[in-house]
Amino acid sequence: MRLISIDMLKPDMKIARAVTNKDALILPVGKSNVERYVPNLRNMGIEYVYVEDEKSADIEIPDAISDVTRANCKQVLQETAQKFAATDRLDVRELESCVDMVITDILKNPDVQVSLNDIASNDEYTFTHSVSTMVYALMIGRKLKYNEQTLSILGLGTLLHDIGKIIIEHSVMYKEGALSKQEYEYVKMHALYGYQTLMRVPNMPEQARQIAYTHHERLDGSGYPRGLSGAEVSEFARIVAIADVYDALTTDRCYRKKWPARKAMEFLLEKSQKEFDCKLVGLFTQQLAIYPNGSMIRLSDQSIALVCRQNAGMPLRPVVRVIQNSRGEDVRPYEIDLIKQLSVTIIESELEIRRDIPAVSAEDIG
Residues that bind Fe ion (CB under 5 A): 162
- The one-letter amino acid code at 106 reads I
Q: Which is nearer to Fe ion, 164 or 315 (CB)?
A: 164
Q: Which is nearer to Fe ion, 162 or 275 (CB)?
A: 162
Distance CA 159, CA 258 (A): 21
The minimum distance between CB 163 and Fe ion, in angstroms, equals: 9
The minimum distance between CB 237 and Fe ion, in angstroms, equals: 11
Q: Which is nearer to Fe ion, 116 or 243 (CB)?
A: 243
The minimum distance between CB 255 and Fe ion, in angstroms, equals: 17
Q: What is the 3 state secondary structure string of the chain?
A: CEEEEHHHCCCCCEECCCEEECCEEEECCCCCCCHHHHHHHHHCCCCEEEEECHHHCCCCCCCCCCHHHHHHHHHHHHHHHHHHHHHCCCCCHHHHHHHHHHHHHHHHCCCCCECCCCCCCHHHHHHHHHHHHHHHHHHHHHHCCCCHHHHHHHHHHHHCCCHHHHCCCHHHHCCCCCCCHHHHHHHHCHHHHHHHHHHCCCCCCHHHHHHHHHCCCCCCCCCCCCCCCHHHCCHHHHHHHHHHHHHHHCCCECCECCCCHHHHHHHHHHHCCCCCCHHHHHHHHCCECCCCCCCEEEECCCCEEEEEECCCCCCCCCEEEEEECCCCCEEEEEEEECCCCCCCCEEEEHHHHHCCCCCCCHHHHC
Please identify the residue of the shown chain whose CB is closest to the bound Fe ion: 162
The minimum distance between CB 184 and Fe ion, in angstroms, equals: 13
Q: Which is nearer to Fe ion, 95 or 289 (CB)?
A: 95
- The one-letter amino acid code at 316 reads L
The minimum distance between CB 18 and Fe ion, in angstroms, equals: 29
Q: Which is nearer to Fe ion, 162 or 247 (CB)?
A: 162
Q: Which is nearer to Fe ion, 268 or 351 (CB)?
A: 268
The minimum distance between CB 162 and Fe ion, in angstroms, equals: 5
Q: Which is nearer to Fe ion, 50 or 195 (CB)?
A: 195
Q: Which is nearer to Fe ion, 194 or 260 (CB)?
A: 194
The minimum distance between CB 146 and Fe ion, in angstroms, equals: 22
The minimum distance between CB 164 and Fe ion, in angstroms, equals: 8
Strands 330-337 and 2-5: what pairing?
unpaired
